[in-house]
Amino acid sequence: MFLVPLALPLLLLHGPKLGIKVLKPGHGIASKAGDAVTVNYTGKLTNGKQFDTSIGRGPFTVHVGMGEVIKGWDQGLTGVKKGEKLKLTIPPELGYGSKDLGEIPPNSTLVFIIDVLDVKH
């Protein structure tokens, strides 16, 4: 008899899991699909190597849920509030997958610290 580990069916049903940790709560109305969310962010690999940041370049604005960014960001920025600070841990399937982007190796888990500066509904 073949037994499937419990975690496998859950992974198949729910897909890869995005890690979201709120480091500082925000206030106001939560973002929803189509809202413009302005953030400062720093992206690192799990080994701590930084590959990108908006600090020094200026804030970054994205329309949540519209496919302008990787899936992990679209999912992770849905429901955020102005003033919130969060940590997103994004598995490869919700990031860049098997693409080799130089500073970001294939199948990398990405870690972003994001400060939500504004949410426009």
Please tell me the predicted confidence (pLDDT) of residue 16: 82
Residues with Cβ within 8 Å of 69's Cβ and at least 6 positions away in sequence, in order, are 62
Structure confidence by residue, pLDDT tens digits, 83-115: 999 999 999 999 999 999 999 999 999 999 999
Structure confidence by residue, pLDDT tens digits, 63-82: 999 999 999 999 999 999 99
- Identify the residue with better confidence: 15 or 40: 40
pTM score over 0.85: yes
Q: Is domain 15-120 in CATH 3.10.50.40, yes or no?
A: yes
Measuring CA to CA, how many Å separate 83 from each of 24, 29, 62, 80, 115?
8, 11, 16, 9, 7
